[in-house]
Amino acid sequence: MTGTKTSERSGGKWWEHGRRRSYLLIGVIAAWFALALPAVALKPIEEDVDRNGTAILTNVCPFAVHVSFTQSGTDTLFFDQDNNLTRVHGHVVEQDVFSANGNVLVGLPYTFNVRVLFDPESGNVTNVYGSGVMSRVPLPGSGIFLTAGRWDFLAAGTSFLVQPDVGAQGNIAGFCEALT
């Protein structure tokens, strides 16, 4: 009989019962840590940016205006507690060159901010807002084409704008005349 009890304790029902208790204890400890430690979002990430590109403006003058631009600045990426990208804030200095009908206007560098918002579940862009100076172009003779304000890129359906939704519209007639 003594041999039977020893074998039950070393590998029988007693061991199974002890193992279940160990698993239960490990589960309770793991659950406690999971509940006790809140999810922590990644710290914002800053990235230096240098971009260039081209665009065609069709809604400013009665003719198409070709644009080439260069940008430099900093993008800051923000994340939620699940490490999904939720927002990008850009602080940018840009310079534009406009051309049409054989004429060229070289803009002066200007600064603006852009804010891109994302749906954290789908990752899709939900808003793209810009604010600040939108264009700064000396005109031949005298004067300047200067626009500033706030604009909504998604509502406009384009990635390049020179006229704000709200703010100063600038000397559009002088700008178009210089490119005629």
* pLDDT one-digit tens code per residue, 40-96: 668 999 999 999 999 998 888 999 999 999 999 999 999 998 889 999 999 999 999
What confidence score (pLDDT) does residue 111 get?
Answer: 95
Least confident piece of the model among 13-17, 24-28, 81-85, 168-172: 13-17
Output phi, psi for 108, to 5 deg. Answer: -90, 155
Place of tokens 């793991």: 30
**Rounded Cα gap, residues 109 and 104, in angstroms:** 16
What confidence score (pLDDT) does residue 22 get?
Answer: 52
What confidence score (pLDDT) does residue 108 get?
Answer: 96
The one-letter code for the residue type at 20 is: R
pLDDT tens sequence across 98-136:
999 999 999 999 999 999 999 978 889 999 999 999 899
What confidence score (pLDDT) does residue 152 get?
Answer: 85
Residue 2 has pLDDT above 70, yes or no: no
Task: Give pTM, 2 decimals.
Answer: 0.71
Domain ranges of the chain: 2-36, 45-178
Q: Report the residue count for the chain.
A: 180
Residue 157 has pLDDT above 50, yes or no: yes
